[in-house]
Structure 1
Amino acid sequence: MDLSEKELKEAFVSNLNGTTLQEVAVGSFLTPLCILNRALILILHHRAKGRLPLPFPRISHLLLDFSALVLPLVLSCTVLSDVLLQVVLSFTFVLSCALCRICRPACRRTTLSAFLDRTVHFKQVPFVTVFRVMVNVQTAISILAVDFRVFPRRYAKTEMYGTGVMDFGVGAFVLANGLVCPEARGRNVPASKMKHISKQLLSVWPLVVLGAARLVFVKTSSYQEHVTEYGVHWNFFFTLAIVRVLTSMLLVVVPARKSWLLCLLICGVYQYTLETTGLKAFIMHNEDRGKDFLHANKEGLFSIAGYVAIYMAGVQIGCYVMQPRSRVRDWLRAVFNLLMATLLLFAALCTCQTFVEPVSRRLANLPFCLWSVAQSLLFLSCIALVDLIVLFSQAASGCSFVPSAWSSKSDGRKKRDEMERLCLLQAVSRNQLLFFLLSNVLTGLTNSLVSTLSCGGSFSVCVLLTYMFINSAAVYVLHLCGMTIKCW
């Protein structure tokens, strides 16, 4: 790739203004619908067992999961992006008809109160796992898709202000890490606080190494750079590492269940500083990049404050979601509370956008933090609600288990273990960092081999599907072999 093509690619991802809050919200409904679609396919197959055998189960389950969970997401951000609302509405109608077909016999013999009093069984909260996996999957799709013309420019990261789909992806990725951190899961901080902090410092070395490797690759090749994203030398790997270390230090002092106070304090102080000092103008303008490290990487360094606040919000949500619950009724109440929190946060966001300033990923300002948390909560709540629908469908059909979903029966452990072993969601969950790393490596490789700006729509989609299938198959094979790649 020569210099002129590099400059063309940099211009292609620069000076963008994003899309509307409504379009991003509509996109959040597609993933839960995909999860429901996959579950209903498995339930209908269960009802047709004996008449509809599933040959080569390992390959069949991979192809089913890829077709149901990944393929629609690739199409929705490429060739179907202009009719996304119609896709969501049509998908909802079809799945509603399938649900009625499955659940109608059970409605006559099962009362609502009996279903709400059922006890659910799980090792991990299923919808939390699915949320984290699907954020990772959508991130993997976007980081390559953004380089193709078939990917709408309004979905890409914004330059100064605005709400792009990829902007949400960054915030959701940070919140997802906070959601399942040890503090959110109720693990006690060791008596030696310094030892705990030292352990956290050591635990982020893979992120530091990955960030350094990306930096070396970008600087020694003709790969495109978007310096207003994080800076000249900074990247998202460094941000993730610093955020994890800083939040670990803060959570040594402040209990995890009070992390919402830290979130509000950090957001408030940072936004006040932006408004009352020259910091906002300093970050937004591109002069003096070569003066020193601070000037060169001001976006990445100062946005850490916003990402720490988002991480703390994730910790608070994790503390609430991880509370012990066993009955369907309790989980339904929890989902309702998450939806109410979502509405409050969106109301606060609209107020901030009216009286303070618009959302800015570049600043990671207060509106960006509010939007990231609100949109993530909406996404999480929809997945949780779908999980409850799947649970009812299982009860109605007599299918006792769908992978990565709740189960209301304690028997059939061997069958459930086998189904989890064939589940793509569990495969990605098992090696999430590897999946993220592999996505970045293949993105760079694809850009080196393919002139992405010259590709037509159909060819671009084929490249994206091939890329995602390689990512998915790699972690799927590792999962089948029982291997977790973790060296820290």
Structure 2
Amino acid sequence: MSSPRELKEAFVSNLNGTSLGEVALGSFLAPLCLISRGLVLILYHLGKGVLPLPWIAHFVLDFSMIILPLVLSCTVLSDILHLVILGLAVVCGAVLCYIYRTKRTTAVKSFFQSRVQCDQVPFVTIFRVLVNVKTAISILAVDFSVFPRRYAKTETYGTGVMDFGVGAYVLANALVCPEARRKEVSGSKLSQVVKQFMSVWPLVILGLARLVSVKMSGYHEHVSEYGVHWNFFFTLAIVRVGASVLLALFPVNRSWLLALLIGGLYQVTLEMSGLKYSIIHNDDRTGGFLQANKEGVSSVVGYIAIYMAGVQIGLYIMRPRTQVKEWIRVIWNLLLVSAVLYTTLVLCQASVERVSRRMANLPFCLWTIAQSMFFLSCLATADVILVFMKTVSGCSLVSSSWYPCRKEASASEEKMEKKVEGLCLIQAVNRNQLLFFMLANLLTGITNVLVDTFNSSDYISVCVLLSYMFINSFAMYILHLMKITVKFW
């Protein structure tokens, strides 16, 4: 008879994922949730309500409109996700029409020529936060039967939602790295590489802590995911250092070429050598550290390719722009490149091999980049819609979105906008992203010890997941209210 640990390991093993279309479909949910939250605040303002709300009200609103739908979408609503998205789109469309007809102004005619404040790119922040939030939800949800097996990480080939999450996490970090932001740095390139090497020590410590805790506690582990000793923290650390070396040696604006060369050469190596056979078919893990952790070590190459592509995307997106029409052009270009990459992916899967997160092969890199760009374009579209509704309604107090430029912005208006950002859950998670990820991993382990996740009912599973995300989110929110950024490296 199998032990509980063996049952849990089997529960997350030998899975084949879902379709490319279903993963892409999920990209519409979060943007619609963001639009819905904005429309609620705008309607409240038009009804003569006073903004901003008390801090607890903003937290409950953000949690209910953003976190709750994401939890439900990968649990009890997963089979009708298309209907949920359609329903949300219809409701948002109806409210948009109502506000437009009620507050029709001459400003609408010049909207595309209008300008927005460009202190940051809101949809990039939201992308990074949502990748983190979805990762936090998934790492615990996957242990419950209510989480669809097709969403979990695939064994060898396939496209699971969690597979995309791993690649997107790497790309999200690349989007805002110093090189992508064209941040001026002092010192030689060698000193910058050394600085990056020293800055990843928290990831190494976290990786070692996870390794020791898993081995000592007997916590179930999927060995074929990364290997016997390897985990994703080690991957993140090696990728950051490796990428910083490449960016010191080659022009940053040629990152796309490096991504292509690295991904292509890695795929050739998989095909021409015995590496692919060793990863997929050879279960022997007694040949030393590299043999024991062949998945984790070899897949680093693919993740570096994804990171380099992320740097190139960041260089393009983070370029200063103020006009709305310029950002609409960005959305169009993101969609266009995403379509080209998806077409290349289909051809690559037909002629070479399918997507494999386990190897981080070329198709996996193409899929991660294509899907990330599609998701970014959806979030950017939501931002444009929100800035349009702000212009029409005259209510600008919707956090984590662009603020329309005004000819004469009073000090009180700017102060109020900053106050609203200080009450935003998205900004709270963004302030302490690594801490949020660490806390999620810690609470996942504690939950698995305290709760029989394998035999929990759907109702209990959703309640546990919501409680877990509430604790994660509330902790980050309190730190944000206190303006505390936990960074000691």
TM-score (norm 2): 0.97
Instruction: Verify the 8 A CA contact 2:207 2:234 in the aligned structure 1.
Output: yes
**Distance of aligned partners of 1:247 and 1:176 in 2 relative to their CA distance in 1, 3 Å threshold:** same
Instruction: Verify the 8 A CA contact 2:118 2:321 in the aligned structure 1.
Output: no
**Unpaired segments of 5 or more residues in structure 1?**
none
Partner of 2:460: 459
Partner of 1:445: 446
**Aligned-pair CA distance for 1:116:** 1.0
Show the 5 A alignment for 1:275-314.
275-314=271-310
Matched, 1:137 2:137: no
Partner of 2:33: 34
Partner of 1:475: 476
Q: Secondary structure at the match of 2:194?
A: helix
Instruction: Verify the 8 A CA contact 2:103 2:392 in the aligned structure 1.
Output: yes
Instruction: Verify the 8 A CA contact 2:75 2:148 in the aligned structure 1.
Output: yes
Partner of 2:81: 84
**Counterpart-to-counterpart distance in 2, 1:69 and 1:174:** 22
TM-score (norm 1): 0.97
**Counterpart-to-counterpart distance in 2, 1:487 and 1:217:** 23
Instruction: Verify the 8 A CA contact 2:29 2:85 in the aligned structure 1.
Output: yes
**Aligned-pair CA distance for 1:106:** 4.5
**Unpaired segments of 5 or more residues in structure 2?**
none
Instruction: Verify the 8 A CA contact 1:428 1:435 in the aligned structure 2.
Output: yes
Matched, 1:186 2:182: yes
Partner of 1:274: 270
**Aligned-pair CA distance for 1:7:** 0.6
**Aligned-pair CA distance for 1:334:** 1.0
| AA of the residue aligned to 2:88 | F
**Counterpart-to-counterpart distance in 2, 1:365 and 1:106:** 52
Instruction: Verify the 8 A CA contact 1:54 1:60 in the aligned structure 2.
Output: no
Q: 2:386 aligns with which of 374, 381, 390?
A: 390
Q: 1:59 aligns with which of 50, 56, 65?
A: 56
**Distance of aligned partners of 1:464 and 1:286 in 2 relative to their CA distance in 1, 3 Å threshold:** farther
Instruction: Verify the 8 A CA contact 1:120 1:407 in the aligned structure 2.
Output: yes
Q: Secondary structure at the match of 1:223?
A: coil
**Counterpart-to-counterpart distance in 2, 1:481 and 1:156:** 36
**Counterpart-to-counterpart distance in 2, 1:407 and 1:192:** 38
Runs in 1 of length 4+ with deviation above 6 angstroms? 52-55
| AA of the residue aligned to 1:149 | S
Instruction: Verify the 8 A CA contact 2:108 2:392 in the aligned structure 1.
Output: no
Instruction: Verify the 8 A CA contact 2:105 2:392 in the aligned structure 1.
Output: no
**Counterpart-to-counterpart distance in 2, 1:438 and 1:73:** 19
Partner of 2:414: 413
Partner of 2:437: 436
| AA of the residue aligned to 1:46 | H
Partner of 1:228: 224
| AA of the residue aligned to 1:255 | P
Partner of 1:22: 21
**Counterpart-to-counterpart distance in 1, 2:143 and 2:274:** 34
**Aligned-pair CA distance for 1:104:** 2.2
Matched, 1:69 2:70: no
**Aligned-pair CA distance for 1:481:** 0.2
Instruction: Verify the 8 A CA contact 1:3 1:222 in the aligned structure 2.
Output: no
Partner of 1:151: 147
Instruction: Verify the 8 A CA contact 1:77 1:152 in the aligned structure 2.
Output: yes
Partner of 1:117: 113
**Counterpart-to-counterpart distance in 2, 1:455 and 1:194:** 53
Instruction: Verify the 8 A CA contact 1:335 1:381 in the aligned structure 2.
Output: yes
| AA of the residue aligned to 2:194 | S
**Counterpart-to-counterpart distance in 2, 1:107 and 1:418:** 28
**Counterpart-to-counterpart distance in 2, 1:192 and 1:72:** 47
**Aligned-pair CA distance for 1:290:** 2.2
Instruction: Verify the 8 A CA contact 2:108 2:391 in the aligned structure 1.
Output: no
Instruction: Verify the 8 A CA contact 2:107 2:391 in the aligned structure 1.
Output: no
Provide Cα deviations, 1:424-461, integer angstroms capped at 9, x if missing partner.
00000000000000000000000010010110001100
**Aligned-pair CA distance for 1:402:** 1.1
**Aligned-pair CA distance for 1:189:** 4.9
Matched, 1:349 2:345: yes
Provide Cα deviations, 1:266-310, integer angstroms capped at 9, x if missing partner.
011000111111110011124221221011000000000100000
Instruction: Verify the 8 A CA contact 1:175 1:313 in the aligned structure 2.
Output: yes
Provide Cα deviations, 1:168-200, integer angstroms capped at 9, x if missing partner.
000100000000000000024544222111101
Identity %: 61
**Counterpart-to-counterpart distance in 1, 2:160 and 2:292:** 24
**Aligned-pair CA distance for 1:48:** 1.4
**Counterpart-to-counterpart distance in 2, 1:483 and 1:160:** 42
**Aligned-pair CA distance for 1:257:** 1.2
**Counterpart-to-counterpart distance in 1, 2:101 and 2:205:** 55
Q: 1:104 aligns with which of 64, 86, 101?
A: 101
Q: Secondary structure at the match of 2:246?
A: helix
